[in-house]
Amino acid sequence: MLTGRVVKMDKRLDGSPSNVWNRLVKRSGEPVIRSAMNQAMAIMGKQFVLGRDINEALKQARDYRKMGYSYSFDMLGEAAMTQDDADRYLKDYLQAIEAVGNDPYPQNNAPRPSISIKLSALHPQLASHNAHTVAAVLAMAKKRNRKIEFQRLHGMGDALYNSILQEHDIPVRIYAPVGAHKDLLPYLVRRLLENGANSSFVHRLVDAGTPIEDLVQNPVQELQKYDSLASSRIPGPMDIFGERRSDGDKTEVRALCLEKFANLMEKHMEELMALCCQEAGKTMQDGIDEVREAVDFCRYYANDGRARFAKAIALPGPTGESNELYMEGRGVFLCISPWNFPLAIYTGQIMAALVAGNTVIAKPAEQTSLVAMRGMELMLEAGFPANVLQFLPGDGARLGKVLTPDSRIAGVCFTGSTQVARVLNRTLAERTGAIVPLIAETGGQNAMIVDSSALPEQVVRDVVQSAFASAGQCCSALRVLYVQQDVADRMETLLAGAMNELVVGNP
């Protein structure tokens, strides 16, 4: 695969990557392809990663340091998901700092090598492999008499920065990753994306089909050829949701109230967070997420209401026949919300009903009535008329027996247990007259399937967030995790370590 000898290319068949892979697997079999991929990883690792540890990296760096380059060594690793990871990274960095500090090689005027700890540069530096950018920075630095340092990635930009060292008295530092094979993949993927992008200067530079004239064009001058820098195919911020109708119609008035309520919740973020933490036992981050979700509901339903209720929706029909769909409110909606999302789901139910033109009886969970009451106060402050909203806290079983059989209830919106949803469904079904809609959101078994292509740290981060955010009390919380056997041991070790870092108790 690396030399072109694993399989012969056929121009008639190999127009897409899938054809190539299919022929490779059929010709060679999976074990050979796996070996080839591992070899490709090793070759790419040697190209873009300086060494497996700091001592090997210092030895490999000597030839370039003779030329006048300096280095910034970075210990590979995406994230410390467990305490063991954190301890290992700390040990690696302490060893690297000591090794670099004790290294006497070479004795020349190049800046001393350093260790990168992902805090970015704290003095004027520029990292680029684009000759246009480098030339522009050189000109600006000369004009302003500024001292600068260039940086490049190990394995990239040799020709460009060799000329910089030869022609200018400016230091160049090589950013050099250091790490073991198992930590390579995320970094190599980033380098592949950077080098392989069609618009990348690095990619176009080595493309024999790109004329020199195209490479040396001034990008600013190219942009100035256009009448406008904005693309006509991409709507501007004010046009994303279409024209805002402000002719006083009822849909617009309701939508504006939803948007004002969203703004008020953002204004009272800290207060609402505190109530969520106090009443529902949420962590601070869960409280932030709760308010943000409630705000999102308001803005989503405001825009959706304008699209669906402001005017009739034209339907397809025979020539000469006009078919239009009008939607309007049904009447009184009973909204029953849970304790685990006392503001977000409570808000989403009520806003959806109101923007559609209904009136609402809001029955929050008895455990979180203070959060719900404060939300109701902000709704009224946002401009919703008091006679379209009724706040009714209390015991769910007792209130449900009175309200759901009542013929004045035109619909029920419920989030909670499957058992209670079945009771509501049976009660509404026993009523005479038109069918009463029940919009019910209940629990379920949610699974995640992970294969060997997934980044382990990202998987663990997502699993922990999905399974344990909001104490796992979410209808979409992860319940079952399926992991490909090839990577299961590594995933399980990381996941167990990350779970061990979780603190269970009163937030």
In the Cβ-directed half-sphere of 172, how many Cα atoms lie within 13 Å?
28
Q: And the tokens for 370?
A: 């203070």
Q: And the tokens for 97?
A: 């700092």
145 — alpha (psi -120 to 50), left (phi > 0) or beta?
left
Is 366 catalytic? The answer is no
- Name 61's Cβ contacts closer than 8 Å, sequence gap at least 6: 50, 71, 113, 174, 176
Picking from 231, 116, 242, the residue whose alpha carbon sits closest to that of residue 179 is 116
14 contacts 20 by C-beta, under 8 angstroms = yes
Q: Which residue has the tokens 């195209």?
A: 214
* The pairing of beta strand 323-325 with beta strand 313-315: antiparallel
From residue 355, alpha-carbon distances to 122, 259, 350 in Å are 51, 11, 9
CA separation for the pair 263, 294 (Å, rounded): 11
CA separation for the pair 42, 46 (Å, rounded): 6
CA separation for the pair 439, 410 (Å, rounded): 12
Q: Which residue has the tokens 């299961």?
A: 488
Q: Which residue has the tokens 């959101």?
A: 441
- Name 16's Cβ contacts closer than 8 Å, sequence gap at least 6: none
SS3 of 133-201:
HHHHHHHHHHHHCCCCCEEEECCCCHHHHHHHHHHCCCCEEEEEEECCHHHCHHHHHHHHHHHHCCCCH
> Which of 78, 259, 293, 441 is flagged as catalytic?
441
Q: And the tokens for 191?
A: 């380098």
Is 279 catalytic? The answer is no
Helices (H), 337-368: 344-355
Q: Which residues pair with 323 in a beta bridge?
A: 315
In 103-121, which positions are buried (b, 16+ CB within 10 angstroms) versus exposed (e)?
beeeeeebeebbbbeeeee
> Which of 252, 475, 492, 501 is flagged as catalytic?
475
Phi, psi torsion values for 485, nearest 5 degrees: -60, -35
Give catalytic residue positions.
441, 475
